[in-house]
Amino acid sequence: MRHQGKVALVTGGSSGIGQAIACRLGREGAKVAIADVAEAGETLALLQESGSEGFAARCDTSDPHQVASFVAQVGERFSPPQILVHSAVVQFVRPFDELSLEDWRRTQAVNQESMFHLLKAAVPGMKARRWGRIIAIASSTFFVGAPAMTHYVTSKGALIGLVHGLAAEVGPFGITINAVAPGLTRTRKAQADLPTELFRQIVALQCIKRNGTPEDQAAVVSFLASEEAGFITGQTILADGGQGRT
Protein backbone atom coordinates (compact mmCIF):
# COMPACT_ATOMS: atom_id res chain seq x y z
CA MET A 1 0.00 0.00 0.00
CA ARG A 2 2.80 2.40 -0.94
CA HIS A 3 0.29 5.08 -2.07
CA GLN A 4 -2.06 4.87 0.90
CA GLY A 5 -3.69 8.24 1.59
CA LYS A 6 -2.66 9.74 -1.75
CA VAL A 7 -4.91 11.04 -4.53
CA ALA A 8 -3.81 10.28 -8.08
CA LEU A 9 -5.05 11.95 -11.25
CA VAL A 10 -4.49 9.83 -14.36
CA THR A 11 -5.30 11.08 -17.85
CA GLY A 12 -6.08 8.58 -20.60
CA GLY A 13 -7.05 6.02 -17.99
CA SER A 14 -9.87 4.34 -19.89
CA SER A 15 -7.58 1.84 -21.63
CA GLY A 16 -4.04 0.76 -22.42
CA ILE A 17 -1.11 2.07 -20.41
CA GLY A 18 -3.26 4.66 -18.64
CA GLN A 19 -5.68 1.99 -17.46
CA ALA A 20 -2.84 -0.17 -16.12
CA ILE A 21 -1.40 2.82 -14.27
CA ALA A 22 -4.75 3.74 -12.71
CA CYS A 23 -5.30 0.16 -11.56
CA ARG A 24 -1.77 -0.21 -10.17
CA LEU A 25 -1.96 3.03 -8.18
CA GLY A 26 -5.41 2.03 -6.91
CA ARG A 27 -4.28 -1.42 -5.79
CA GLU A 28 -1.45 0.24 -3.89
CA GLY A 29 -3.77 2.48 -1.91
CA ALA A 30 -4.35 5.65 -3.93
CA LYS A 31 -7.72 7.16 -4.65
CA VAL A 32 -7.78 7.46 -8.43
CA ALA A 33 -9.41 10.13 -10.59
CA ILE A 34 -9.51 9.37 -14.32
CA ALA A 35 -9.75 12.08 -16.97
CA ASP A 36 -10.46 10.83 -20.48
CA VAL A 37 -12.47 11.73 -23.55
CA ALA A 38 -13.59 8.09 -23.62
CA GLU A 39 -15.88 6.39 -21.14
CA ALA A 40 -13.85 4.74 -18.36
CA GLY A 41 -16.37 2.29 -16.96
CA GLU A 42 -14.09 -0.72 -17.47
CA THR A 43 -11.30 0.89 -15.46
CA LEU A 44 -13.69 1.87 -12.67
CA ALA A 45 -14.96 -1.72 -12.53
CA LEU A 46 -11.38 -3.01 -12.25
CA LEU A 47 -10.67 -0.53 -9.46
CA GLN A 48 -13.80 -1.63 -7.63
CA GLU A 49 -12.85 -5.30 -7.98
CA SER A 50 -9.54 -4.60 -6.27
CA GLY A 51 -11.20 -2.65 -3.47
CA SER A 52 -9.90 0.67 -4.74
CA GLU A 53 -11.73 3.99 -4.73
CA GLY A 54 -12.01 5.98 -7.93
CA PHE A 55 -14.11 8.13 -10.17
CA ALA A 56 -13.97 9.23 -13.79
CA ALA A 57 -15.26 12.10 -15.89
CA ARG A 58 -15.15 12.99 -19.56
CA CYS A 59 -12.41 15.56 -20.00
CA ASP A 60 -10.60 16.82 -23.07
CA THR A 61 -7.23 17.61 -21.52
CA SER A 62 -6.34 19.93 -24.40
CA ASP A 63 -9.03 22.33 -23.10
CA PRO A 64 -7.71 24.33 -20.11
CA HIS A 65 -11.22 25.06 -18.84
CA GLN A 66 -12.16 21.38 -18.77
CA VAL A 67 -8.89 20.54 -17.03
CA ALA A 68 -9.38 23.21 -14.36
CA SER A 69 -12.93 21.99 -13.79
CA PHE A 70 -11.81 18.38 -13.48
CA VAL A 71 -9.02 19.15 -11.02
CA ALA A 72 -11.54 21.10 -8.95
CA GLN A 73 -13.84 18.06 -8.99
CA VAL A 74 -11.00 15.88 -7.74
CA GLY A 75 -10.44 18.29 -4.86
CA GLU A 76 -14.12 18.27 -3.94
CA ARG A 77 -14.46 14.48 -4.24
CA PHE A 78 -11.19 13.51 -2.52
CA SER A 79 -8.55 16.22 -2.04
CA PRO A 80 -6.24 18.04 -4.46
CA PRO A 81 -4.20 15.47 -6.41
CA GLN A 82 -0.73 14.70 -5.09
CA ILE A 83 0.13 12.34 -7.95
CA LEU A 84 -0.35 13.44 -11.56
CA VAL A 85 0.17 11.07 -14.49
CA HIS A 86 -0.37 12.32 -18.03
CA SER A 87 -1.00 9.33 -20.29
CA ALA A 88 -3.65 10.69 -22.67
CA VAL A 89 -2.42 10.47 -26.23
CA VAL A 90 -3.16 11.06 -29.89
CA GLN A 91 -1.23 8.51 -31.94
CA PHE A 92 -1.54 7.63 -35.60
CA VAL A 93 0.72 6.83 -38.54
CA ARG A 94 0.90 9.42 -41.32
CA PRO A 95 3.82 10.44 -43.55
CA PHE A 96 4.92 14.03 -43.07
CA ASP A 97 4.03 14.88 -46.69
CA GLU A 98 0.42 13.91 -45.97
CA LEU A 99 0.21 15.53 -42.55
CA SER A 100 -2.19 18.46 -42.26
CA LEU A 101 -1.75 21.42 -39.95
CA GLU A 102 -4.89 20.25 -38.14
CA ASP A 103 -3.31 16.81 -37.58
CA TRP A 104 -0.16 18.45 -36.25
CA ARG A 105 -1.96 20.85 -33.91
CA ARG A 106 -4.27 18.20 -32.48
CA THR A 107 -1.35 15.91 -31.73
CA GLN A 108 0.60 18.66 -29.97
CA ALA A 109 -2.51 19.87 -28.12
CA VAL A 110 -3.33 16.49 -26.56
CA ASN A 111 0.12 14.99 -26.14
CA GLN A 112 2.09 17.94 -24.79
CA GLU A 113 0.00 21.10 -24.34
CA SER A 114 -2.37 19.13 -22.10
CA MET A 115 0.51 18.71 -19.68
CA PHE A 116 0.83 22.49 -19.44
CA HIS A 117 -2.87 22.80 -18.51
CA LEU A 118 -2.63 19.96 -15.99
CA LEU A 119 0.41 21.44 -14.31
CA LYS A 120 -1.18 24.89 -14.06
CA ALA A 121 -4.23 23.35 -12.37
CA ALA A 122 -2.56 20.77 -10.11
CA VAL A 123 0.84 22.12 -9.07
CA PRO A 124 -0.48 24.88 -6.75
CA GLY A 125 -2.10 22.21 -4.56
CA MET A 126 1.11 20.20 -4.48
CA LYS A 127 3.12 23.28 -3.53
CA ALA A 128 0.70 24.01 -0.68
CA ARG A 129 1.26 20.48 0.68
CA ARG A 130 4.97 20.58 -0.17
CA TRP A 131 4.73 17.14 -1.76
CA GLY A 132 3.94 15.94 -5.25
CA ARG A 133 4.78 13.38 -7.90
CA ILE A 134 4.37 14.24 -11.59
CA ILE A 135 4.94 11.66 -14.32
CA ALA A 136 4.59 12.23 -18.06
CA ILE A 137 4.27 9.26 -20.40
CA ALA A 138 6.67 10.04 -23.23
CA SER A 139 7.96 7.53 -25.80
CA SER A 140 11.14 5.75 -26.79
CA THR A 141 10.47 6.97 -30.34
CA PHE A 142 12.01 10.30 -29.31
CA PHE A 143 15.36 8.50 -29.03
CA VAL A 144 15.10 6.06 -31.96
CA GLY A 145 12.67 7.77 -34.35
CA ALA A 146 9.65 6.25 -36.05
CA PRO A 147 8.67 6.38 -39.73
CA ALA A 148 5.56 8.41 -40.58
CA MET A 149 5.21 9.59 -36.97
CA THR A 150 7.13 12.89 -36.89
CA HIS A 151 4.12 14.65 -35.32
CA TYR A 152 3.99 12.10 -32.48
CA VAL A 153 7.75 11.98 -31.88
CA THR A 154 7.85 15.79 -31.70
CA SER A 155 5.05 15.92 -29.13
CA LYS A 156 6.74 13.33 -26.91
CA GLY A 157 10.07 15.13 -27.18
CA ALA A 158 8.37 18.30 -25.98
CA LEU A 159 7.11 16.45 -22.91
CA ILE A 160 10.64 15.36 -22.08
CA GLY A 161 11.85 18.94 -22.43
CA LEU A 162 9.10 20.18 -20.14
CA VAL A 163 10.02 17.60 -17.49
CA HIS A 164 13.71 18.43 -17.60
CA GLY A 165 13.01 22.17 -17.52
CA LEU A 166 10.45 22.29 -14.71
CA ALA A 167 12.25 20.03 -12.23
CA ALA A 168 14.34 22.87 -10.79
CA GLU A 169 11.30 25.08 -10.21
CA VAL A 170 9.15 22.55 -8.37
CA GLY A 171 11.90 20.67 -6.53
CA PRO A 172 12.14 23.12 -3.61
CA PHE A 173 8.48 22.36 -2.84
CA GLY A 174 9.06 18.62 -2.44
CA ILE A 175 7.71 17.88 -5.92
CA THR A 176 9.41 15.54 -8.37
CA ILE A 177 8.69 15.44 -12.09
CA ASN A 178 9.86 12.67 -14.40
CA ALA A 179 9.03 11.06 -17.72
CA VAL A 180 8.62 7.40 -18.59
CA ALA A 181 9.42 6.54 -22.20
CA PRO A 182 7.84 3.19 -23.12
CA GLY A 183 8.96 1.11 -26.05
CA LEU A 184 6.40 -0.62 -28.24
CA THR A 185 3.77 -1.85 -25.79
CA ARG A 186 1.27 -4.62 -26.45
CA THR A 187 -1.94 -2.72 -25.72
CA ARG A 188 -5.22 -3.75 -27.30
CA LYS A 189 -5.11 -0.69 -29.58
CA ALA A 190 -1.55 -1.36 -30.68
CA GLN A 191 -2.39 -4.96 -31.48
CA ALA A 192 -5.40 -3.86 -33.52
CA ASP A 193 -3.59 -1.08 -35.39
CA LEU A 194 -0.10 -2.49 -35.99
CA PRO A 195 1.08 -5.54 -37.95
CA THR A 196 2.04 -8.59 -35.90
CA GLU A 197 5.41 -8.66 -37.65
CA LEU A 198 6.31 -5.28 -36.15
CA PHE A 199 6.06 -6.68 -32.63
CA ARG A 200 8.45 -9.50 -33.59
CA GLN A 201 10.86 -7.06 -35.23
CA ILE A 202 11.02 -4.83 -32.16
CA VAL A 203 11.57 -7.78 -29.82
CA ALA A 204 14.55 -8.78 -31.97
CA LEU A 205 16.10 -5.36 -31.25
CA GLN A 206 15.57 -5.59 -27.49
CA CYS A 207 17.83 -7.02 -24.79
CA ILE A 208 14.73 -8.48 -23.13
CA LYS A 209 13.14 -10.84 -25.62
CA ARG A 210 9.44 -10.24 -25.08
CA ASN A 211 6.91 -7.57 -25.85
CA GLY A 212 6.38 -4.85 -23.30
CA THR A 213 3.03 -4.74 -21.50
CA PRO A 214 1.01 -1.91 -19.97
CA GLU A 215 1.77 -3.43 -16.57
CA ASP A 216 5.51 -2.99 -17.20
CA GLN A 217 4.97 0.75 -17.59
CA ALA A 218 2.61 0.94 -14.62
CA ALA A 219 5.28 -0.57 -12.39
CA VAL A 220 7.77 2.16 -13.30
CA VAL A 221 5.17 4.88 -12.77
CA SER A 222 4.19 3.45 -9.38
CA PHE A 223 7.80 3.60 -8.23
CA LEU A 224 8.29 7.18 -9.46
CA ALA A 225 5.08 8.17 -7.66
CA SER A 226 6.29 6.74 -4.36
CA GLU A 227 8.19 8.08 -1.36
CA GLU A 228 11.15 5.88 -2.37
CA ALA A 229 11.64 7.93 -5.54
CA GLY A 230 11.82 11.22 -3.70
CA PHE A 231 15.41 11.90 -4.82
CA ILE A 232 14.74 11.24 -8.53
CA THR A 233 13.61 14.18 -10.63
CA GLY A 234 14.11 15.71 -14.05
CA GLN A 235 14.74 12.24 -15.50
CA THR A 236 13.46 10.23 -18.44
CA ILE A 237 13.25 6.51 -17.72
CA LEU A 238 13.43 4.37 -20.86
CA ALA A 239 11.21 1.35 -20.26
CA ASP A 240 11.79 -0.29 -23.62
CA GLY A 241 13.40 -3.64 -22.91
CA GLY A 242 16.79 -2.31 -23.97
CA GLN A 243 15.82 -1.59 -27.58
CA GLY A 244 18.85 -0.94 -29.77
CA ARG A 245 21.33 -1.93 -27.07
CA THR A 246 21.84 -5.59 -28.02
CA pair distance 52, 96, nearest whole angstrom: 43
Q: Establish whether 152 is a catalytic residue.
A: yes
Q: Which has the closest alpha carbon to 154: 215, 221, 99? A: 99
Three-state DSSP state, 193: helix
**Do the strands 132-137 and 31-36 form a parallel or antiparallel pair, or are they unpaired?**
unpaired
Widest Cα–Cα separation across the chain: 50
Alpha-carbon torsion angle 6, 55, 120, 230, nearest 10: 20
Q: Residues 77, 217: contact at Cβ < 8 Å?
A: no
Catalytic residue among 70, 142, 143, 152: 152
Which positions are annotated as active-site residues?
152
